[in-house]
Structure 1
């Protein structure tokens, strides 16, 4: 990503000045590192990730596209891809893929009907000059459990 950025602007600004500007903004890269990165062949991980990305993109219109990380990993292994759960999870995140979630989302907190909040009596200042002068309590959780069915 950084190499592509430098490639785009190096003819106008020069590699060294771009690297200096990037270093000033917290992205540490030396001109020598950039030049080596341009001629370095892709790593084995990059190549394996590219194959897996293509395999996941091919599932767009198939029912398997609804699978989550676990099922998709097993499916890819059955198809002959050497894939780890963490790799499939990472690539699904890069591609913006999510598995379908069954059932309803569990709701844990229900807001009050009036929509009002308790007033801030301390103005967010929790310091005290002596013990037992300031007491603070917070009860924000409302249980929805109705007992045993």
Structure 2
């Protein structure tokens, strides 16, 4: 908010901008004074600033993977007495978050008792290599989301002759896997 006021005050002045934002001009001047004279801030605000530096240090020393609980525990080990909720509040203000463990996603509901019938008279038998290929794809959970993997399998040998990975499940993604095999 104050950055916006700093930008607009040269063009419009402090009072008109404050009146549009429904804040008192004294609030702007108070915040500006605290920015220029951090030693005049309250003891609570000064401690928050110091804690932010300590939290950032612990977070960086641990490869930016620690969450609130582990940062809080590390600060306690170092003799810095602070409440867990304070660490949570400051980490949220700073935009810091720990790495989340991936949760197991159930992607298939197995029904072993019900086998699909052969409705199209599929003939999955080959007499020599590269006579018949079949294609399949699946999706894999990663830390960044799902990726899709297409496989081209030689029916005779039963091994994968080509594959392709994509972020989206489109027709071109399967065709790219075929292009890999054709080359």
Superposed, 1:1-149 pairs within 5 Å as: 2-23=1-22, 29-40=23-34, 41-63=40-62, 65-102=64-101, 104-107=102-105
Is the 1:68–1:99 Cα contact (8 Å) retained in structure 2? yes
- Which structure has more strand as a fraction of its residues? 2
Q: Which runs of 5+ in 1 are unaligned?
A: 24-28, 112-149
Superposition TM-score, scaled by structure 2 size: 0.45
| Structure 2 residue matching 1:72: 3-state secondary structure | helix
Distance 2:7 2:53 in 1: 26
Aligned pair in 2 of structure 1 residues 34, 52: CA closer, same or farther (>3 Å)? same
Instruction: Give me the CA root mean square deviation.
Output: 2.9
Deviation for aligned residue 1:54: 1.2
Distance 1:92 1:100 in 2: 13
Where in structure 1 do 4 or more consecutive aligned residues deviate above 6 Å?
108-111
Deviation for aligned residue 1:108: 7.1
Q: Which runs of 5+ in 2 are unaligned?
A: 35-39, 110-183
Q: State the structure with more CA Rg.
A: 2
Deviation for aligned residue 1:64: 7.1
Superposition TM-score, scaled by structure 1 size: 0.54
Q: Greater CA deviation, 84-93 or 38-47?
A: 38-47
Distance 2:71 2:48 in 1: 15
Distance 1:60 1:70 in 2: 11
Higher relative contact order (Cα pairs below 8 Å, separated by 6+ residues): 1
